[in-house]
Amino acid sequence: MEKRKLSFWQMFNLSFGFFGVQIAYALQSANISRIFATLGADPHQLSFFWILPPLMGMVVQPFIGKWSDRTWCRWGRRKPYLLVGALVAVLVMVLLPNAGSLNLSTAYIFLGLNAAMWFGLFSLIFLDTSINVAMQPFKMMVGDMVNEEQKATAYSIQSFLCNAGSLFGYLFPIFFTWIGISNTAPEGVVPDTVKWSFYCGAALLILCVLFTFAKVKEMNPQEYAEFHGAPLVQEGQAKTSFVKLLAHAPGTFWTVGLVQFFCWAAFLFMWTYTNGTVAKNCWNTTEVASAGYQAAGNWVGVLFAVQAVGSIVWATLIPRFKNLKTAYIVSLLFGAIGFVSAAFVHDQYVLFVSFFLIGFAWAAMLALPFTLLTNSLSGEHMGEYLGLFNCTICLPQIVAAALGGVLLKALGGAQSSMLIAAGVLLVLGCFAVGIIRVKKK
């Protein structure tokens, strides 16, 4: 039986909520190091703040996949989870940037962190976890509802919306500075530009998720079984353990996962150390309370926006490659050039070139792993496998965060050296792409 095809707008609506989720994710990735540096963290502590969020995601995501595989209610299968995740994310986005405004900065020092940093850390844990809870269902719904022929297109649309959302998130701080909101604050307090960025991001997140929630109608169990040629796992059926699922996972799961390891470790270093690199190389300052450092923080948002533009442009070209593995390798090589060059540039505008190239790697990371993986899976246990696959995103971030301070010290203490390390990781990712084999399970 020929599988039904979706129209462009059906695929667009399926992923539109991802636009709002990515605004939140962009605000987190571009501003977390800036926020914690403002709260008093030194460069060798910064990577520490990135360990717990992906650790929580690695624990939570497989269960989201497992539970949603067995969920069927009047609102759908995946949609209830994306709505709950979005609601929690909105609440935390309002709290996190106010960590320095609660008169906690110099109180209750524990394990070298003041109370404001602890408040921010736990807020970050909930923010990253809730964003992932809201994000994963979008990937699962494409796997559920789009046939193999259209999946590359559907994930490319998702990649476009992801990067368009990133543009908003990255540019919010410099926009609010431009309209006159203060970009500086007393020592230990996050500037108002960052606070208002998070408030607006929270509002857009929930509006976009509600749009997809209202527009998308998921398949019922009978339609799903007919579409995939595999029964829908339902409540009360015998449960398969994660260990057994991993033991029977297709080889694509592991080989693409290896590529993911190198890529996500590289981008964790970018999110952690770009602010310090740009402040030192382009503004010649390491003083976090200075106007120069906060201006560099705004500029990092602009650079990440340029990265998003590069990703949008490159995402339109990826489908033109006859071989997805070739597209993957070329994308990561361009990203590696971007990372290494960014470590040596001292002109804030020349950095546009570096981050535009980094966007090529990001485009590939958003679309190709899920295309390769879902094409190798049957419909059975789709959510569980995608939840487990999220560990290939979380684990490298945990490893990179745990080793970041040690590696920074070994490389001489210059935060720019960590961008060179990121470039090396992407080159290793290129070699790993060579061993990927796609075979339908």
102 lies in which domain range? 8-231+242-433
Asked which of 20-34, 49-63, 294-308 is least confident by mean pLDDT, the reply is 49-63
Distance CA 124, CA 198 (A): 13
Q: What is the mean pLDDT of residues 173-190?
A: 87
Q: Compute the distance between CA of residue 413 and CA of residue 43 in angstroms, rounded to an integer.
A: 9
Q: Is residue 99 part of a domain?
A: yes
Cα→Cα distances 138→85, 152, 213, 216, Å: 12, 14, 11, 11
C-beta of residue 49 within 8 angstroms of C-beta of residue 400:
no
| Residue environment code for 108-120, b if the CB has 16+ CB neighbours within 10 A, otherwise e | eeeeebbbbbbbb
Asked if residue 3 belongs to a domain, the reply is no
Q: What is the pLDDT of residues 277-292, one digit of tens each?
A: 999 999 988 887 788 8
Check residue 261 and give its pLDDT.
Answer: 95
Query: Using one digit for the tens of pLDDT, what is the confidence trace for 79-119?
Result: 888 899 899 999 999 988 887 766 665 556 655 677 777 88
Q: Which of 33-47, 88-102, 223-237 holds the top average pLDDT?
A: 88-102
Q: Does residue 29 fall inside a structural domain?
A: yes
Identify the band that residue 238 occupies on the pLDDT scale cut at 50, 70 and 90.
very low
pLDDT score at 1 = 44
Q: Is residue 438 part of a domain?
A: no
Whether residue 304 is contained in a domain is answered as yes
Over residues 259-273, mean pLDDT:
93
Q: How long is the chain?
A: 441
The dihedral sign for the CA sequence 246, 250, 255, 259: negative
In percent, how much of the chain has pLDDT > 70? 89
| The pLDDT of residue 375 is above 80 | no
Q: Does residue 237 lie in a domain region?
A: no
Q: Provide the mean pLDDT of the chain.
A: 84
Considering its fold, how many domains does the chain have in total? 1
CATH of the domain at 102: 1.20.1250.20
**Which residues, other chains included, contact 81 with Cβ-Cβ below 8 Å and sequence gap of 6+?**
64, 67, 68, 71, 133, 134, 136, 137
Helix axes 115-145, 52-69, angle to 10 degrees: 30
What average pLDDT score do residues 349-366 get? 94
Which comes out higher in pLDDT, residue 73 or 164?
164
Q: Which of 267, 272, 274 is nearest to 296 (CA)?
A: 274
Residue 224 lies in a domain: yes
DSSP one-letter code for 412: T
Beta bridge partners of 314: none
pLDDT in tens, 135-146: 878 877 887 888
pLDDT at 236: 47
Q: Please give the residue that has the higher pLDDT: either 307 or 53.
A: 307
Taking residues 406-416, what's their average pLDDT?
91
pLDDT at residue 214 tops 80? yes
125 pLDDT band, cuts 50/70/90, is: confident
- Does residue 335 fall inside a structural domain? yes
The model carries a pTM of 0.74
Give mean pLDDT, residues 330-347: 96
